[in-house]
A and B are shown apart, each in its own frame.
Chain A
Amino acid sequence: MDLSFSQEQEAFREQVRAFIRDEMPPHIAAKAAVDGHFEHAEVMEWHRVLARRGWAAPHWPEEYGGTGWDAARRFIFSEELEKSGAPALSPFGLAMVGPLIIQFGTEAQKKRFLPKILAGEEVWCQGYSEPEAGSDLASLRTSAVDDGRGNFVVNGQKTWTTYAQYADWIFCLVRTNPGVKKQAGISFLLIDMKTPGVKAVPMLTTGHTPAFCDTYFDNAIVPKENVVGPVDGGWTMAKALLGHERTMIAAIGHSTRALIRVKSIARQHGLLDDPAWRGRIARLEIELEALRVQNYRALAGAQLGHAPGPESSVLKIRGSEILQQALELAADLMGPACAAWFPPEGVLLPQEQWVGSAFNYLRASTIYGGSNEIQRNVIAKWILGLPAQG
């Protein structure tokens, strides 16, 4: 039994910290220091800094530009990035479609797409959810009909397509066969956002960021070679992807950073030594530390090559809840000041400027990536073996 990282792993952690310290552009570092919000261009700028070092996609196989790091190093890397307040890279290319193309794509698809994802030259977004297909994703209706001339004609609407307004490509689950069981008629299709008939319409989130879009497809012509894997075989592939990098989903580094921010705000309001506030902060920190050990257990399992099982849903559930609570605590500590909504400089402490936005936006953390209720369904069925819901 050993709960610590090895000396060699800690040395690696130092290497990552030094890299962040030395290579993060000053204007990004200035925002990171006060937990500011990053514009799309800044996220991509940071992506390219990481890419130059060969660290943009640590989890990819080395032959495609990954690092060859084991699960522990990937965890440390991701934890340190989160703890630094660095911009979170867009996950859609690096963490989602990239690994899927690596696993199921053709040689031509790999050559065409992977290098540009890695380099941050092409930005991706995700077309899964639809207005009538959320948690029941398999009931999606966006259709792709074979035109007999080597193309699919795509019609329908995707929603919550995060930052689609900046995306060059979208990966979609589309219905290619309406005549079979709903899971069996779905294909995984890559669509160029410049295709005539494709339109992304941004909307505001409660955090006042234009993170969400509705993306419409009106007779968009997409070459059939853009299907990844077998036609009608998209559902299984998309599900396989859900198990990917499950040891990171607790976002321990993110919550650690949030708690440091909470304590700093508490101090600046003179509340850090107030017993009631201090107790509330300590309780949340205790929850985080419990989850940290839970995460280490999953990580140690991954190090031994155990595939993450449904119990990793525990990491998602608690990780997202704790992150929400941390931002709620930050907002509560601000007292009446938390009401200020994007005020001019000087009204709030620098660290407080984006608390209101993040506090609101992070309500999404218990919804995205499979809502926490869906995670609970997964545990009920696959771990507890409870009977199917009526």
Chain B
Amino acid sequence: MDFELTQEQKMLADSAAGFAKKTSPVERLRRLRSMPHVEGVEQRHRAENDPVGWEKGVWAQMAELGWLGLFYPEAVGGLGLRFFDASLVLEQLGTTLVPEPYVPSVILGGWPLYRCGSDEQRRAFLAPMIEGRTSLALAWQEQGSRYDVARVEARATRAPGGFSISGEKVFVENGHAADHLVVSARLDDGSLGLFVVDPGQPGVRLLPFGTMDGRRAAQVTLRDVAAPEARRLAAGDAAEALAWALDLAAAAACAEGLGIARTVLEMTASYLKVRKQFGVPIGSFQALQHRCVDMFVQTQLLESTSILAAVRADDADADERRRAVSIAKARLSVGGKFVTQQSIQLHGGIGVTDEHDVGLFFKRMQVLCASYGDEEHHVRRFASREPFEASVGR
């Protein structure tokens, strides 16, 4: 049992914290975020409505720091560390809502490529992303599939020289900006296949849209899109790789959510000390103190479960992994929502204005909770373990 960070891990976390503060403070998300214009309202931070929402230069900087390949082996250009190390970075990215597409590209796009790609495919599609030259997206969800990676209607039918893909993919994070899409589709034999598709290919249509947290995603329509054999990721089990990628993404959401919870807890405690009403700081009122303490308690538990998920997320033992991730992700919806909700409540009216940051953290938390399996999904998955009765504490 050991919860101490190594010297290297401390340095990694420190450098990520410095990056978040200096290179990408919350102001940067405000500048880049998607924000439909509202007529007649003056905004302190005028949204420029950047069409991408993140910056290639910063992405390259993150690659330079080694973050885009932290837990991939050196053979594909990674650092060969564990997912836990990535969670330290993700937590810091949460503290200032860094908008670069870490989860969509590094985890969701990268992991199936890594698990199911041939050496050549890894070199062609994974390595350039790790170097920060490209970004990826995973087109896995379809209308009504919710969190089930196996509910796929898109078809990849045999065609001369490869496959022809048709289908509709929804909520593709970073789908609007990715250089390559990893697409799941049913093969003729009913099994699941994975393909690398480029957005510029004939038959690919993107419908980009903004998300609540100021980021962007796209609906992707594929009509008779040609995928040569070389673009099929056939070196591993597609369904297993997708499920694993989602578990990693869920663990990442927990780490990022921890960073958010820490930040808004700190903001709220500070505010309670300076905001005066009835002639005294409102932080002297016991009702508000205890609410803030409950935020602290939940943040502590989020830290514990984020560690649990991060340590087990790249565990080859799928049962261990699923159990840990479901505990942590279900708890993110309990504790993370509570902390961000209460941060708005304790700020009062100002907390509901767009100009205050707590609302941005609240929105991101909501999106994280709804992504990669929500509370119901993970509680149900946790409860479906067998033997359920004889497994308390194990």
**Which residue of chain B has the shortest Cβ distance to A383 in the bound complex?**
B296
Which of B179-187, B188-196, B212-220, B381-389 lies at the interface with chain A?
B381-389
Enumerate chain A residues within 8 angstroms of B292, measured Cβ to Cβ.
380, 384, 386
Q: How far is the CA of A387 from the CA of B380 in the complex (A)?
A: 42
- Tell me what chain A mostly uses at the interface: helix, strand, loop, or mixed: helix
Q: Which of B100-108, B276-284, B357-365 lies on the face that meets chain A? A: B276-284
Residue of A nearest to B305 (CB): A290
Query: Counting CB contacts under 8 A, is B35 at the interface?
Result: no
Tell me which of B3, B289, B330 contacts A286 (CB under 8 A).
B330
CB within 8 Å of B: which A367-390 residues: 373, 376-377, 379-380, 383-390
> Which of chain A's residues have a CB closer than 8 A to the CB of B326?
286
Is B293 among interface residues, defined by CB-CB distance under 8 A?
A: yes
B1 at interface by CB-CB < 8 Å: yes
370-394 of chain B: CB within 8 A of chain A: 379-380, 382-383, 388-389, 392-393
Contact of A384 among B286, B293, B305 (CB under 8 A): B293
- Interface size of A by Cβ–Cβ distance < 8 Å? 57
Partner of A279, one of B84, B285, B289, B379: B379
Contact assessment for B289 and A377 in the assembled complex, using a CB-CB cutoff below 8 Å: yes
Within the assembled complex, what's the spacing in Å between the Cα atoms of A1 and B389? 29
Docked-complex contact A263 and B3, CB < 8 angstroms: no
* A260→B269 contact, CB < 8 A: no
CB-based contact A263/B392 at 8 Å = yes
Residue of B with least CB distance to A303: B1
In the complex, whether A283 has a CB less than 8 A from a CB of chain B is yes
> Does B327 count as interface, using CB distance less than 8 angstroms?
yes
Q: Known contacts A318-B297, A376-B289, A386-B292: does B379 contact A1 (CB below 8 Å)?
A: no
A285 interface residue (CB < 8 Å to B): yes
Give the distance to chain A from B375, nearest Cβ to Cβ, in Å: 9
Q: A272 within 8 Å of B by Cβ?
A: yes
Which residues of chain B are near A44, meaning CB under 8 Å?
none
Q: How far, in angstroms, from A275 to B307 measured CA to CA in the complex?
A: 29
A229 to B17, CA, bound (A): 48
CB distance A386 to B284 under 8 Å?
Answer: yes
* A72 interfacial by beta-carbon distance below 8 Å: yes
The answer on a CB contact under 8 Å between B330 and A373 is no
Contact A1 B392, beta carbon cutoff 8 Å? no
B300 interface residue per 8 A CB criterion? yes
A22 at the interface (CB under 8 A from B): no
B388 and A263 contacting across the interface, CB-CB below 8 Å = yes
State the Cβ distance, A375 to closest chain B Cβ, in Å.
8
Q: Which of A44-91 contact B (CB under 8 A)?
A: 72, 83
Q: How far is the CA of A256 from the CA of B285 in the complex (A)?
A: 36
A259 to B382, CA, bound (A): 15
Does A208 count as interface, using CB distance less than 8 angstroms?
Answer: no
Residue A14 interfacial (CB < 8 Å): no
Task: Determine whether the beta carbon of A282 is less than 8 Å from that of B383.
Answer: yes
Partner of B286, one of A303, A317, A389: A389
Once the chains are docked, how many angstroms separate the CA of A200 from the CA of B300? 42
| Whole-angstrom CA separation of A278 from B273 in the bound complex | 43
* Minimum distance in angstroms from A237 CB to a CB of chain B: 27
C-alpha gap A103/B119 in the complex (Å): 65
For the complex formed, measure the closest distance between the CB of B389 and the CB atoms of chain A, giving whole angstroms. Answer: 5
Find out whether the CB atom of B300 lies under 8 angstroms from the CB atom of A294.
yes
A6 at the interface (CB under 8 A from B): yes
Nearest CB of A to B281, in Å:
5
Q: Which of A141-200 contact B (CB under 8 A)?
A: none
- Complex alpha-carbon distance, A176 and B137, angstroms: 73
Report how far A256 CA is from B391 CA in the complex, Å: 10
Q: CB-defined interface of B80-116 with A at 8 Å, one 1/0 digit per residue?
A: 0000100000000000000000000000000000000
User: Are the C-beta atoms of A3 and B392 separated by less than 8 Å?
Assistant: no
Q: Are B330 and A283 in contact (CB under 8 A)?
A: yes
In angstroms, Cα B295 to Cα A314, docked, is: 11
Answer yes or no: B290 CB below 8 A from chain A CBs.
yes
Q: Which residues from 252 to 307 on chain B have a C-beta closer than 8 Å to any C-beta of chain A?
A: 269, 272-273, 280-281, 283-286, 289-290, 292-294, 296-297, 300-301, 304-305, 307
Closest to B82 in A: A1
Query: In angstroms, how far is the closest chain B Cβ from the Cβ of A264?
Result: 7
A17 within 8 A of B: no
Select one of B304, B327, B382, B389 contacting A297, CB under 8 A. Answer: B304
User: Complex formed: what's the CA distance from A315 to B314 in Å?
Assistant: 28
Which single residue of chain A is at the shortest CB-CB distance from B383? Answer: A282
Which residues in chain A, 1-36, are within 8 Å of chain B measured between CB atoms?
1-6, 9
Kindly provide the distance from the CB of A76 to the nearest chain B CB, expressed in whole angstroms: 11
Contacting residues, chain B, for A282 (C-beta < 8 A): 379-380, 382-383, 388
B301 touches A290 (CB 8 A): yes
- Do residues B389 and A267 form an inter-chain contact, with CB atoms below 8 A? yes
Question: For the complex, is B29 an interface residue (Cβ under 8 Å from A)?
Answer: no
Interface membership of A311, Cβ < 8 A: yes
Q: Say whether A281 faces chain B, with CB atoms less than 8 Å apart.
A: yes
When distances are taken between beta carbons in the complex, the residues of chain A under 8 Å from B1 are 2-6, 9, 72, 296, 299-300, 303
Q: List 19 A-B contacts (CB under 8 A).
A: A1-B5, A3-B308, A260-B392, A272-B388, A275-B380, A282-B380, A285-B382, A286-B330, A289-B308, A290-B304, A293-B308, A294-B300, A300-B3, A380-B289, A384-B296, A386-B272, A386-B273, A386-B284, A387-B281
Additional A-B contact list (11), CB under 8 Å, known A267-B389, A380-B293: A1-B310, A1-B311, A72-B1, A259-B392, A263-B388, A282-B379, A286-B330, A290-B301, A318-B297, A380-B292, A384-B292
- 5 closest pairs, A vs B, by CB? A282-B383, A293-B304, A380-B289, A387-B284, A386-B283
| A residues whose Cβ falls under 8 Å from a Cβ of B | 1-6, 9, 72, 83, 252, 256, 259-260, 263-264, 267, 272, 275, 278-279, 281-283, 285-294, 296-297, 299-301, 303-304, 311, 314, 317-318, 373, 376-377, 379-380, 383-390
